[in-house]
Structure formats: structure tokens, C-alpha cells
Amino acid sequence: MSRRAARAEVRRGGRSGGNMAPSGSARAPVAVLLLLLCLAPATTGRRSDVRVVTDENWRELLEGEWMIEFYAPWCPACQNLQPEWESFAEWGEDLEVNVAKVDVTEQPGLSGRFIITALPTIYHCKDGEFRRYQGPRTKKDFINFVSEKEWKNIGPISSWFGPGSVLMGSMSALFQLSMWIRTWHNYFIEDLGLPVWGSYTVFALATLLSGLFLGLCMIFVADCLCPSKRRRPQPYPSKKLRPESSQPLKKVEEEQEADEDDVSEEEAESKEGTNTDFLQNAIRQRSVGPSLATDKS
């Protein structure tokens, strides 16, 4: 039943009340109930203006102006903030700002990428520059923060710690790995029935094997990039040499032969000198021998 039909029903009830008072008084509450039932789907079925950010579409935050809330369904403070955040999102089109939210229980990678340490956490983003909102959490304060550009008084996050940096990308992967380990731990305990120490043993062995594999890979890469300097044996000169390369060898051989000749000549001269000295000494001894005999006689 539409709103017009409900209003017509109310009017009919009012008109009939002029003729029959008891019947009009009975129809009026029924018309009010029908009107509420007609308006209820319009309010409950209304689409939320808050956009949901995930690991797949988070790069959309790098363009335009955004207000992002990081929350968890079990967080009481987050639950109290939801009505204010939803009503603030209704002003998003007028303020030309996109209002979004991130469920950290479903998106652990984004919680690591933005370093979420408390809940709820609100960020403001303008063309890729992220600033952390730390003001009051009311609809009016959110609107003033955007309309009066109060975000300019807050310094942006360093590019080193920005969500698009390599450091935060590795942090996101680490958070996703931790959630993956937790999921497998629950699978080992609940589905397979392993004890807690059995699950820890499996992860310890997996850690040792992965560390061994990564170590071998690092050694292989290091050997490829920086090979160790080893003394290689000098190859023997080949018999067949080119004429250009044979000329220096010939010169070396000639020089060696000349040196050998010089050495042989010097040895010959030294030998001759020693022979002459020996002969002279022998002659002297012979000449001295008879003179000594005559002296004795």
C-alpha cells in the first residue's frame, strides 16, 4: 500500500467519523498502523551512503577526498559511532567527500597497511595525503572538519609510512600471514582434532624448512651476484700460435739463450782462473821444495 492510499484511508476514517463516531474511532488507529507499515520499508530498506573499502579497491582512496573509519563489529565504541557515521555520510554528496568504512576483522591487510592500533580509527585523505582525525566523534564535528578544512591544521603522514609505500605493503603482507596462520591453527585444532602442542610443532617444522629453503636461495643469489675469487691454474701455451703472439715468445727465448751464454762464459773464465792459480801454486811448491833440501844439508 502506498502513502497516498494510506492518507486516503485516514481521510475516509475522518469522514466516516462525522456520520458514525464509533466506527471512525475504530478505523483511525488502523489507518495509522497501515501508514507506519508503509513508511517502515522506505526507512529500513534505504541504501547506506557509507562505502565499504577492501583490499581490492583501497587504491580508490588515493583520488579525491575521503573520510575512512576503521572499526570492528565487536567494538562497543564502534557500535556507538555507527549512527553518527551514517548520518554524516548523508552529507557526503553536499560536502563532496566520500565516506567509507573498513572492517578490520575482514580486512587484516588494511589494518596493517594503516597501522591500526586502536578502534575506532578515522583517517582523512585528500589526493593521496592521509591525516589521522583525533577530534570529537559527532556528526557536527565531522561536517565542520571537512567544510571548514580543519584537516589543513594536521600534518600528513610521511610517505615512508603511507599506505602505498613498500614498508606498509610488507606490513600488510605480514598481517595477512598472521591471519592465515591463525586460520590454519584453528583448522588443525577444531577440524583435525590435533592438540595445541601438535599444531605448534607443525608450525615450528614449517618455519625451519622455510628458513632452510630461503637460506639456500640467498646463498645461491649471493654466489651469482658476487662470485668468490679463486686462483685458476695457468693454461699451458698452445703449440699452434699466431705469428703475432709467437714473436714475443721468440724474443724471450733469445734473451734466455743470451743470458745462458753469458753465464757459461763467466763460468768458463772462472774455471780458467782457478786452473791458472792452481798451476802457479804447484810450480811454487816445486821450486820451494829443493831449496828447503839444500838448506837442511
Rounded CA separation 70/112 (Å): 11
| Catalytically annotated residue among 75, 217, 224, 226 | 75
What b/e string do you get for 27-37 counting C-beta neighbours within 10 Å, with b at 16 or more?
A: bbeebeeebee
Say what the alpha-carbon torsion angle 69, 74, 76, 82 is, to the nearest 10 degrees.
40
Residue 125 annotated in active site: no
Rounded CA separation 124/110 (Å): 15
- H or E, element range at 179: helix 166-186
Helix (H, G, I), strand (E, B) or coil at 76: helix
Q: What is the DSSP letter of 120?
A: S
Q: Which residue has the cell 591525516?
A: 131
The strand order across the sheet containing 121-126 reads: 51-52, 98-103, 65-71, 121-126, 129-133
| Catalytically annotated residue among 38, 78, 217, 224 | 78
Residue 75 annotated in active site: yes
Q: What is the DSSP letter of 191?
A: I
Cell readout for 60 is 580508490
Residues with a known catalytic role: 75, 78
